[in-house]
Amino acid sequence: MLAALADGCSRITGFLEGEDTRASARAFAHMGVRIDAPRAGERIVHGVGLHGLLAPGVPIDCGNAGTGMRLLTGLLAGQGFDATLAGDESLSRRPMRRVIEPLTRMGARIESNGGLPPLQIRGGRALHAISYALPVASAQVKSAILFAGLYANGETHVCEPHPTRDYTERMLAAFGWPVEFGEGWVKLRGGQHLRATDIDVPADFSSAAFFIVAATLLPGSEIVLRDVGTNPRRTGLLLALRAMGADIRESNPRARGGEPVADLVVRHARLRGIDVPEELVPDMIDEFPILFIAAAAAQGTTRVSGAAELRVKESDRIAVMANGLRALGARIEETPGGAVIEGGQFAGGEVDSASDHRCAMSFAVAGAIARAPVRIVDCANVATSFPGFMQLANSSGFELAATPG
C-alpha cells in the first residue's frame, strides 16, 4: 500500500503469494498502479504518489482480507473519488464501525450495511487530524487512522490501551514519512511525501506458529524455522509457550526489512497449563487458535481471558475452537473473553473450521497428535494466508490429505 502511494519504484521480496495479499495488489491495479511480478515472492510496485490514484471502475473486492479492507478504508477516505469495498461472506460479517467512527470524526463520509461491509467511501472530503484513544487495542484500526492521517491537515495522534503491532509505523518510517511512536502511541503530520524503497519481508510468525506448536507437541521433533520475524509486538505466543515449558531458542538474531528476525530452533517438550497473562493478548491475537491446541494437549488447566476480540475475527474463533476441541474429546469451557481448557489427549473425529484459515491449520496440528484420524471441513480459505501449507506440513512429517467435498 505504501509503495503504491510512494514517489518512485519499490521492489518487494518475500511477498506472500496468498489470497489476502493478492487481493490488495488487485485493489491498487484497479486504481491505476502498475505492479509487476517478475517471479513468485517478488513484486515491483510503480508508485503513483500520494495523490496519484485513479477512481476504480468497479467495486474493490477485498476477498477475505479484513486487514486489507480496514486499511483501504482509511486510505480511500482521503481520495478525490468515490469507491466501494466489498468482501466474501466471512468478511461481510466483520464489524467495520470501529474504523468508520474515527474516520468520520476526521471528516470522512462512509456508508455501510449497519456497520458491516460493503462500504461506500465518498471522495472529495477535506480530512482533519484528530487525537484518538482506541477503546479496544487494534493495529488494524490504528493503521486505518494513520492512513487517513497522511491526507489530513494537522497532526494525527493515536493512543492504545495496550501496545499493538507497529508494522505500519516502522514501514512509514522506512518510506521516509516523519512519524513518532512508542509503547502504545503514535503521531504523524499530514501533507508529507513517501519515497520509494526496497523491502525484504521476514518470514511470518503467525505461519511459523503452527510448526512451532507441532514440533513442541510431537515427541522426538526438532525443527529450525529460518528468518522468522520476531517483532515483540507479534511474538506473545513465544512467551506464553515458554511459560508452559516449551523449548524454543532464538539464534542468529539480526534485522531484515527494518524488522528484527531470528532463526527459531524448536524441540519437543512437555507443556503445562497456565493462566495466559492478559498483557500478552494483543501480541498474540492471531495465534490463539493454535494456542488452544497446545493448551488442550498440555498437563493441567489453561485459562485465557481478555481476548473477546477473537469473537469478531474471520469467525468466532473462541466458539469454533471450543466446538472443534470438544469434537476431539477435549474439555473446554467458553467464557465471554476466552476459555478454560483442560489438558489431555485428542481422539479422532470431524471438526468444522467455519471457513477460518487459522482454525483449520490449528486443527491440522491436532490431527498430527490425535489417536485417530481428524477430518477438517470448510478449510478452503487456508490459501488466504498460507498457500502451500499442506505441502510444507507433509514435508515436515504431517500426514495430510485432501478429500472430495
Cis peptide before 373 (omega within 30 of 0): no
Number of other CB atoms surrounding residue 107 within 10 Å: 18
Give the DSSP letter of residue 36: E
For cell 502498475, the residue is 34
The C-alpha angle 321, 309, 245, rounded to 5 degrees, equals 60
d(CA 193, CA 66): 26
Decide: 183 and 163 in contact? Cβ < 8 Å: yes
Is 36 part of the annotated catalytic residue set? no
Quick one: which of 52, 5, 1, 51 has its CA closest to 26?
1
What lies within 8 Å, CB to CB, of 122 at 6+ separation is 82, 108, 109, 110, 111
Specify the 3-state DSSP secondary structure of 336: coil
20, 286, 352, 356: which is the annotated catalytic residue? Answer: 286
Residues 394 and 89: their CA atoms lie apart, in Å, by 30
Angle between helices 357-369 and 205-217 (to 10 degrees): 20
**Active-site positions?**
286
